[in-house]
């Protein structure tokens, strides 16, 4: 894969995530997504991506800089604590397991 393909894959993942955020936690076949929209369970503005994309971006950043697993874990902590890798600096959703893992990293437990 070349850099353009990697960038395209990353952009596709983030755009797909932003398309889906307004429909999170809704029953399949209970909606028709026809374009980018706002709202949803978390009442997010148009084009907002979720924790999935934010963590993907943090991981890609770390891998691109040849960081260690600990340094990448610290990027996840940065996301959780300060909203890095989000479109607006706000973390609006995080699963319990992910939250616990990042909390552990922040408290010195090796990833």
Q: Quick one: pLDDT at residue 34?
A: 86
Q: Please write the tens of the pLDDT for every residue from 64-94.
A: 999 999 999 999 999 999 999 999 999 998 9
Question: For residues 29 and 20, what is the distance between their CA atoms, to the nearest angstrom?
Answer: 13
Q: Please write the tens of the pLDDT for every residue from 26-37.
A: 998 998 888 999
Q: Quick one: pLDDT at residue 47?
A: 95
Over the chain, what HEC string results?
A: CCHHHHHHHHHHHHHHHHHHHHHCCCCCCCCCCCCCCCECCCCECCCCCCHHHHHHHHHHHHHHCCCCHHHHHHHHHHHHHHCCCCCCCCCCCCCHHHHHHHHHHHCCCCC
Q: pTM, whole model, 2 decimals?
A: 0.91
């Amino acid at each position: 894969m070349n850099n353009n393909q990697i960038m395209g894959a990353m952009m596709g993942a983030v755009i797909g995530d932003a398309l889906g955020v307004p429909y999170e936690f809704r029953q399949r076949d209970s909606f028709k997504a026809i374009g980018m929209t706002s709202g949803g369970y978390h009442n997010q503005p148009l084009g907002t991506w979720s924790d999935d994309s934010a963590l993907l971006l943090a991981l890609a950043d770390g891998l691109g800089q040849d960081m260690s697993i600990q340094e990448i874990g610290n990027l996840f902590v940065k996301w959780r604590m300060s909203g890095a890798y989000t479109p607006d600096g706000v973390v609006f959703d995080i699963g319990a397991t992910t939250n616990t893992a990042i909390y552990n990293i922040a408290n010195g437990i090796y990833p």
